[in-house]
Amino acid sequence: MRIRPGFWRLAAAAAAMGCALALPELPAAASTAAPHSLSSASRPAGAALAACATSRPHSGKILYSGIRGGMGTLAIKNSLSHDAVIVLVRGKSKAIGVYVRSHASTTVRNIKSGRYTVYFTSGSYYRACKGRFTRGASYYRVKQHLPFAFPPHYTIATLIIYAASGGNAPSSPISPRGFPAP
C-alpha cells in the first residue's frame, strides 16, 4: 500500500499510543491513609527545614524539566489510591518529573522526540527537596520504552497507572536507589 503525500499529517494527528501500567499489588507497607501535608503546628522551625517540608503539590506540577521543547504530549491518569510521581528518562538524562495526585489526571506537553524509560513512585507525604514520598513509598520502572516521534510527526501517549496483574506495559519494582528522583 502506497501512502499518499500529506497523508502522514492526518495519520500523525490521529496517532495515539496507549499504555496502561500494570502494577503488582502494592506492598503491605503502603499506607491506606489519604496523603496530605503536615499541619503548620507539626512542621519544624527554620527556613532550611521549612523548604524541605512535606507537601502535596497539585496534579500536573512539573517537578523537573531537563529535556523539553518538543512536540510530544503525555496524558497521565493515576488510578491508585496514593499520589504518584512519574519521571521520564532519555538515555542517562532525567527529562521530566511530574506529580499526579491519586485518582487524578494531567497532561504534559512539549516532550522532545526520543525513547524514554518511565519510572514512577507512589506513596504519601511527598518531600520535594528529596524527590521522594516519606510514607508507604513504592518504586517502579516500566519494562517497555516510551517512544516519541521525530518532527514533523509527533506522539500523543497515554499512561494509566493502576494496581493489577497483566496490562500492556508491565512494570517491575525497583529499589529506592534505582529511582531517578526529580
Report the pLDDT averaged over residues 80-85. Answer: 94
159 Cβ contact partners less than 8 Å away, ≥ 6 residues apart:
19, 20, 21, 74, 75, 76, 77, 86, 118, 146, 169
pLDDT by residue (tens digit) across 92-147? 999 999 999 999 999 999 999 999 999 999 999 999 888 899 999 999 999 999 99
Kindly report the number of other CB atoms within 10 A of residue 103's CB atom: 13
Say what the pTM is: 0.72
Pick from 94, 108, 116: nearest CA to 60: 108
Q: Phi, psi at residue 32, to the nearest 5°?
A: -95, -5
Residue that is written with C-alpha cell 496502561 in the block:
20
Pick from 166, 125, 159, 173: nearest CA to 16: 159
Give the confidence band of 28 by pLDDT, cuts at 50, 70, 90: very low
Q: Hey, which residues does 94 pair with through a beta bridge?
A: 89
Pick the range with the lowest mean pLDDT from 44-58, 62-76, 156-170.
Answer: 44-58
Q: Hey, which residues does 52 pair with through a beta bridge?
A: none
Report the pLDDT averaged over residues 31-42. Answer: 35
**Secondary structure (3-state) at 33:** coil
* pLDDT (0 to 100) of residue 166: 66
- Asked: is 16-24+50-164+171-176 a CATH 2.60.40.10 domain? The reply is yes
Percent of residues, the chain, with pLDDT higher than 70: 71
* pLDDT (0 to 100) of residue 2: 40
Pick from 41, 97, 35: nearest CA to 65: 97
Examine the pLDDT at 53 and tell me if it is beyond 90: no
What does pLDDT average to over the chain? 76
Examine the pLDDT at 73 and tell me if it is beyond 90: yes
Identify the residue with better confidence: 128 or 85.
85
* pLDDT (0 to 100) of residue 104: 96
